[in-house]
Structure 1
């Protein structure tokens, strides 16, 4: 995740009061750019959740996903897969591809709902809605939506269409959280840098560990 969309974030949105939950849980996200991440060492360092890239578009499966996901499970992480939206298919097609290759969800307390990574070329509100509805119809939960405030404003007109259904994963490289986009009252996850000591990007969950487990239970 990240790269192109995050360069201007520090200046794009000032920190603002949030409807914040109690506590903070630290985690990270990884992709095939970090094929040899040591999940046990990451867990031992205090991280408790991880998102792992599974798919992109309708024609790419991360070659690292299966091993990373297994290692994360064995290390004790709450974990989930994510899908990088690139527009090679419509929303339904990309959701189906994600679900067929690691993006599923189960009510086991350790599997996070799949995350839709929105940072490449703009996707319309309709495209995102179709992906979200397809994922929900197949799993019973709505996917987490990842974007920066600037991407969301530019590509969706700062739509509030998902506030009541989809958790927000906000990309904001700043010392304090940005103002959540799209009228979300708070972020659920916050990606705050791309230099985690264990590899990948550094993330926070806006709540305590029990609340993180509740997200995993749907």
Structure 2
């Protein structure tokens, strides 16, 4: 029998080829060109809005500028795409003293018709500016809606009582609004949903109309959409690339950075999913 021949292990030879010093440069140039392409496409898409911003707005300087030009261009673009809809704003004590007689348009062009005003938060908080904002907004022709900021870790019935004691709704006002944005720290999601239903039911029984629910889109999809069918939704989505209101949103809060005469600081702007005539059917009769 032959003895097995031991073979020497294969020695891996290092490549004698050196990496080209230009390969990294080519990658950097390619990335830069892609970036320029993206900017070019975005610039073409927003060409009308940017033209407006770099001409008209540059000649009409506002006392307080809260938006960058690219943010302002998106706001103008979205509003332009919804010219047959109705536009509004939402405010709270965080906006300070609002001069409602000056609050007329957004981007100097689009008429503001409605206002959502924070009334209460949690079981005992009353917005410091609610009464003033509510009366002054109405005096200046706004269709008004009052909203309650829901605190998940506080008793839902006490929160409903706080809203009911604070807000009197009349014909022509929007239905009551529940603002839910946060997840609970001391209870389960199922318990949260029970609490929300208790608030909604008590408020509906008092005012005789189903409340509107406000939330962010992801919260809406994950926790509210399937569980609270039959309710109307006011959805916040600030995604730069979303430019159209969705069919299942009654209202869309598409920015929190608008500039409006009469208000210091950035302001939320909302679009109603319908025409002015349709808006008449969304208020209390």
Per the TM superposition, whether the score is higher than 0.5 is: yes
Name the structure 1 match of 2:84: 23
SS in 1 for 2:259: coil
User: Which of residues 20, 29, 34 is equivalent to 2:95?
Assistant: 34
Q: Quick one: structure 1 residues 88 and 60, their matched pair in 2 at CA, closer, same or farther if it must change by over 3 Å?
A: farther
Normalising by structure 2, report the TM-score. 0.60
> In the alignment, is the contact (CA less than 8 A) between 2:245 and 2:273 conserved in 1?
no
Superposition map of 1:67-216 within 5 A? 67-102=132-167, 104-106=168-170, 108-109=171-172, 111-122=173-184, 124-154=192-222, 156=223, 158-164=224-230, 166-174=231-239, 175-176=241-242, 186-198=248-260, 199=263, 200-216=267-283
CA shift for structure 1 position 26: 0.5
Runs of 4 or more above 3 Å deviation: 177-180
Counterparts of 2:105 and 2:132, CA distance in 1: 18
> In the alignment, is the contact (CA less than 8 A) between 2:237 and 2:252 conserved in 1?
yes
Q: Quick one: structure 1 residues 89 and 195, their matched pair in 2 at CA, closer, same or farther if it must change by over 3 Å?
A: same
> In the alignment, is the contact (CA less than 8 A) between 2:124 and 2:159 conserved in 1?
no
> In the alignment, is the contact (CA less than 8 A) between 1:35 and 1:68 conserved in 2?
no
Counterparts of 2:197 and 2:255, CA distance in 1: 28
Counterparts of 2:114 and 2:149, CA distance in 1: 19
Counterparts of 2:176 and 2:198, CA distance in 1: 15
Equivalenced residues, count: 188
Greater RCO between the two (CA within 8 Å, min separation 6)? 1
> In the alignment, is the contact (CA less than 8 A) between 2:253 and 2:270 conserved in 1?
yes
Structure 1: state its 5+ residue gaps: 1-20
CA shift for structure 1 position 54: 0.8
CA shift for structure 1 position 57: 0.1
CA shift for structure 1 position 195: 1.5
Structure 2: state its 5+ residue gaps: 1-81
CA shift for structure 1 position 178: 7.7
Normalising by structure 1, report the TM-score. 0.78
Name the structure 1 match of 2:113: 48
Name which one, 1 or 2, has greater alpha-carbon Rg: 2
CA shift for structure 1 position 44: 5.3
CA shift for structure 1 position 22: 10
CA shift for structure 1 position 207: 0.5
Question: What whole-Å deviation, never above 9, does each CA across 1:17-76 have from its counterpart, x for those lacking one?
Answer: xxxx99310001001101212222223551000001111001211111111111100000
Counterparts of 2:83 and 2:226, CA distance in 1: 24
